[in-house]
Amino acid sequence: MYRFLAILSLVLLLSGCTSKPDFEFTIETKNGAPKDDVIETALVNEPIDLAEKKKVNEPSSKEVKTEQTEGEKDLNNKAPDVAATTVDWPVPFAMQAPFSNWDMPYQEMCEETALVLSAKYYKNEPIDKATMDQELKKVRDWESIEWGVYTDSTAEEIKKMGESVFGLNIEISTDVSIENIKDHLRKNQLVLVPTAGRELGNPYFKQPGPLYHVLVVRGFTDNSFITNDVGIGKGEGYKYKFQTVINAAHDLPILEDGSIFRPYDSNINDDLKREEMKTGTPRILIIKGIK
C-alpha cells in the first residue's frame, strides 16, 4: 500500500511540471497590433523578464487581432499623441544627391527624395545611398514617361507622383499654419512643404540657395519644425523656426497664360525668379500613410 501511494504521488508531481502555464505573452507584429493595454513589442534579442510579464493580464496570441483598421495602417502602428507638445518621428534620411553629385538630375530631385523618405518611413524600410539612387532613377523614369519633365513639380504633381509610384495616401491643404502642421504631425502624418527655397535662409545651402525646395517636416519642438532637409548633408533632423517655414511656403506659381512657372526651365534672371516664386500659393502635402 505504501509503495502504491508513493508511486501515485510521483505521477501527480510529474504531471504538474508539464501542465500549461497560466500566462502567455504576445509579440506584436507589423500586420496586427494588440490593444493599448497590451505590453509593448519585445525587441529582438532583448531579455524577457517572465516574472514581470506574468503580472500583466495579457490575452493569448490567439486573442490578438490580426487585421488592422485603416487608421492603424495610416499610422504605421506608431501611436499618435494628439496632445503632444513636442514630436519627432524617426524618418530615415538620405540626400537628394546621395553620392554628392549635384549634376542633373540630382539638383532638381528634392520633391522625389521627399517622397522616397516618406514611403520608406511608412513601409518600415531602410534607406542608404545606393537605394536612394535607385529609387530616384525609378521616379525620374516615371516622370519622363508621364510628363516629359522632371525638374520642378507642383504640389498636385508631387501628390500624383507619390500616389502612383509609392502608393502613398496624400492630401493637399492650403491651411499652411503652425497649428495645422502640428496637428497632422501629432497624428504621425508627415508634412511636405514646397517652398521658395531662398526664403529659408539655410546657411548650409550652396549660396544663394535653391529657388524651389521641398522639406519633409517630421516633428516640432517648442519653437521650431524638425525637418529632413534633403538638400544638405546636415539635413537630418534640421530645425527651422516655425515662422521661417510658414513664410517660405509657396507652391510653384501659375503664370498669366495659365502655364506653370518652373524656375529651372525659365530664362529670366535669378532675382526675378526669386520674386516670382514668392507669388506661389502656400500649400502643404499631408502624408497619411500607405493606401
CATH number at residue 112: 3.90.70.10
**C-alpha count within 13 angstroms, C-beta hemisphere, residue 253:** 17
> Does 84 share its domain with 216?
yes
> Does 244 share its domain with 113?
yes
- CA distances 22 to 11, 55, 59, 83, 174, Å, are 21, 11, 11, 38, 55
Contact 176, 282 (CB under 8 A): yes
> Does 230 share its domain with 156?
yes
> Does 86 share its domain with 37?
no
> Does 62 share its domain with 79?
no
> Does 137 share its domain with 191?
yes
> Does 144 share its domain with 248?
yes
Structural domain boundaries, residue 27: 18-67
Average pLDDT on 43-59 reads 36
The strand pair at 212-220 and 224-228 is best described as antiparallel
The percent of residues above 90 in pLDDT, for the chain, comes to 69
Peptide bond between residue 105 and the one before it cis (omega within 30 degrees of 0): yes
CA 96 to chain centroid, in Å, comes to 16
Q: Total structural domains in the chain? A: 2
Q: How far apart are CA 260 and CA 192, in angstroms?
A: 20
Cα angle 144, 149, 152; round to 5 = 130
For 94-98, 147-151, 179-183, 245-249, which range has the lowest pLDDT when averaged over its residues?
147-151
> Does 241 share its domain with 255?
yes
Position 243 pLDDT exceeds 80: yes
> Does 182 share its domain with 262?
yes
> Does 147 share its domain with 166?
yes
